[in-house]
Structure 1
């Protein structure tokens, strides 16, 4: 029995295997609204064989976008744009659909990656960003505005509104983006948070706003639907956020009912020095899992089926999430099942693609063709 293709339950959500398609920014929305590109992208990866697909970082207010092309869910137009896409997914796929709710904070107002990815000047359509402290992400950038009490309330309310809209859309699960140097991570890291009020300084204070946002979202999202959190386990910078603080944060999230921790790293500082390699972030997920006994998701350069199987089978993480590997091979889950001995769900239009050497891949042995 493959560990990777064994079921798992997250609150009321039953998943057939331990594979998630990671949220992947497409930078292709129209004023926050999903379009034909998202229709193609989401429907394609909803047939990957993964038990859960997570919609890309979906921003809760316009100034919270990373780029002008980032997806949003802040009004009726952005909500309506997702309806036909999700309807198509539900018609043809059994995958659970999650959504990552996000706010870029000081890393907003940037050009798309293929346009250079640098901050957009105000004179060229850029916007004023916000952050815990008025510290730019890197030298030479315009400083963000430090969020005051009204700004904190506005952002928290925006997360709540997006969570309600996601539920109306039928989203099965939410993941809050507390990683990669975006707003919630900015509050956690002492590199970006130098406040002197109750939201800065001590670890308890730096955790306060991300925990408040989690509590607010958890309170309005249906009790049977899971809510997870993506974290950066380390800033990869001396004196920054680290694994020990991550574990404390995860324990506080556990007390508040978090359903999983998705363990990534980095993103808050251009001074980071990351030791890249296959599965380089898996030890972080393993440490969080061991310390908290929470469901954890391992991410980062997980590309091979046997690699993923070993991560789950050895107990290093409960699940794996793939991003680039899924873009390169949109049927990764099928191929992994064939390699490690699992089954996947596939629409009947594709049943005849099953190789003769893997007759149990879709749980069927005959097709009854005329």
Structure 2
């Protein structure tokens, strides 16, 4: 099963507006894609279903305690959508966060799917009663294409790093007799209880970067990769993390760029001019910060780690919270072609990097109505 084949199947289902389940499976793997009127409601994988769900919640809605009182919903085939509906109805979860949870889970499932071959494809018509909130949180064809594109990039990076023989669902575990002092930074994560996906979330790094950094330890016979079981659904609890919008008085400018030099430069320009600045070096992991703080304007670099600036811009434009937020592309690639492509991706304006202070401030005042 290739991503291209899956893309075609999902496009056909979307065009026909089908209701049901697309099941992709072989003797080792099974992935069910829940479809409603051609939109992707959810994806369920036969491996680490609760771990995947828990990771998505930790990243996008860590204050929501779904815990034991909701565990009865985990007994049915469509359980996660029931939990999301419960969280939305109790006003503990926004529609945007629900959509982000779904995107995370679907992306991980697609990534794991790309490692398997000789998969059978089966379609089952299935009419379900779906709440309005779950229908709204479902992924449109455009959002599905964005997730598939991102998955393709991740898989290419995974293979280029020489990791095709491994899976992110494995747990890196210190071998018996190895002194944990030899691993001062990562030692606490290598206890056999966390998968590579889990560790990547804790470290806020890509799963490829984390896995590649562990290979020298495997070569030294200090570490091995093991399969571990899923988490029990009834014991999962989320840590409480307090979040708040920055000061309401000064306009908030979000800078999505991995360069600490540029972040420092922008800070020297923006803070004295009466703006607040939110620095986000990794866009997808920092998306929760954008949602929580709702910046008045976004500065976006084109060259980002593990992401394409044009795709991020389009993703932001497809997100209701940022549909009308001014997005200014910052890049050294200041050509007519780049400008045209930026406009097509939904960018409001285009600015060369490094930006001239007066030009940047004039642009901010123009788009913030100051």
Greater C-alpha Rg? 2
On whether the aligned pair clears a TM of 0.5, the verdict is no
TM-score, normalised via structure 1 length: 0.28
Q: Flag the structure with more relative contact order, 1 or 2, with Cα contacts below 8 A and sequence separation at least 6.
A: 1
